[in-house]
Amino acid sequence: MNEPGEDRAGDPRIRAYLEHLTRERAASGHTVAGYRRDLSRLRAHVQRGDGAVDWSRVTVHDVRALLAARHRAGASGPSLQRLLSAIRGFFNYLIREGVAGSNPAQGVRAPRSHRPLPEVLEAEQVARLVELPGQDLLQVRDRAIMELFYSSGLRLAELTDLDVTGLDLADATVRVTGKGRKMRTVPVGRKAREALEAWLARRGEWASPQEPALFVSRRGRRLSPRAVQRRLAHHAKARGLDRHVHPHLLRHTFASHILESSQDLRAVQELLGHSDIGTTQIYTHLDYQHLARVYDGAHPRARRRPKGG
C-alpha cells in the first residue's frame, strides 16, 4: 500500500495543478513537494473503493474530517495551515477549469498554533563568524558569502542563484530574484563590498570566463545550496559558536538588527522581499525581547525584590 505522501499512481487533476504552480505561479520546489503530499492525503481520504475520485463531490465535511484526522495524528498547526492552503488553491484551480463548482475549504479554519520566534545571533557572534583569518581562496570566498548574507539579508537560493552581473559594487547594490521570480535590489554594506572585491579579484582562479555564477566551487561550477550550508556550519564550529548556524539564521539576524536600529518595518519588508508585511512583523517581537533584556539589565528596580517578599 502506498504512503499518503507518495501518490505513485498519480491523479491527473493534481498533476495538472502542480504543473500550474510550477510554470504559472513560479512556486518553489519545496512548496510543490509539500502540496503534492497534502493533496495526495486528500485524494486518499476522499477516493472511492475503486480508487476513483469525483472532485466535484468533495464537501466541507470531507475537508474538516481530514483536518481532524491529521490533528489526531500529531500534525502541527503550520502543517494543517499548509494543508488547507493546498486544498484551497487546488479547488480554486478546479473551479477555474470547470471541474468543481465551489471550494469546500473556503470557510474552514485550522487550529491556531504558537509561531516560534526565529533565533538570531548577537552582533559579537556575527563578527566572530564572518571575520575569518587567512587569505586562502576558500576562506576568501566563504568570507564574501557570509558578509553578503548578513549585509543584505538574502535567502539561500537567492545567493546561490546570483550571477556576477547581479552585483554592482560601484553602486553598492545587488539585484536578486526572490520568491515568485520577483526581482529586488538591496544595498551591500562596506564590509561586504570589501569581501566581495577580494573574492572577485581571485575568482578567476577557479571560474572560467564563461561561468556566470558569482560563487563557484573549486571545480569552477556554481556553488550548491547544500555546500553553502555545510561551509557555514563548519565555520561556526571552528569559530567556537555553540549553536547551529545556517543561512536563514543570518537572514533573521540581519532583519532583527536592522529593525532594532531603524524601527522601519516597511523598509525591512522591502529589504527581505516579503510580499506580506505580516511575515515581517515577527521581528517586532524579537525587538521587544531585546528591549526587555536591556530593561532588565539596566533598570534598578527591574529584578530587585524586597527582602522577605
The tens-digit pLDDT sequence of the chain (309 residues) is 333 433 444 789 999 999 999 988 888 888 899 999 999 999 999 987 777 889 999 999 999 989 888 887 878 878 888 999 999 999 999 999 999 999 999 888 876 655 555 677 888 888 888 888 889 999 999 999 999 988 888 889 999 999 999 999 998 898 988 777 878 888 888 899 999 999 999 999 999 999 999 999 999 999 999 999 999 999 999 999 988 898 888 888 877 766 665 555 565 566 666 555 555 555 555 444 544 454 455 545 445 444 444
C-alpha cell, 280: 515581517
Using an 8 Å Cβ cutoff, are 213 and 207 in contact? yes
The pLDDT, as a whole number, for residue 275 is 53
Q: What is the CA radius of gyration of the chain?
A: 24
Q: How far apart are CA 94 and CA 42, in angstroms?
A: 14
Comparing CA positions, the residue from 239, 40, 184, 223 lying closest to residue 32 is 40
Q: Fold for domain 123-296?
A: hpI Integrase; Chain A (1.10.443)
The pLDDT, as a whole number, for residue 296 is 53
Q: How far apart are CA 250 and CA 153, in angstroms?
A: 7
Domain spanning 12-96: CATH superfamily: Tyrosine recombinase, N-terminal domain (1.10.150.130)
The pLDDT, as a whole number, for residue 114 is 54
Taking the domains of the chain in order of start, what are their residue ranges? 12-96, 123-296
Residues annotated as part of the active site? 155, 179, 248, 251, 274, 283
Comparing CA positions, the residue from 176, 170, 171 lying closest to residue 154 is 176
Give φ, ψ of 174 to 5 degrees. Answer: -135, 135
**Sheet bearing 173-177, strands edge to edge:** 167-168, 173-177, 183-187
Q: Are strands 167-168 and 173-177 parallel, antiparallel or unpaired?
A: antiparallel
Strand, helix or coil for residue 33: helix
The pLDDT, as a whole number, for residue 249 is 85
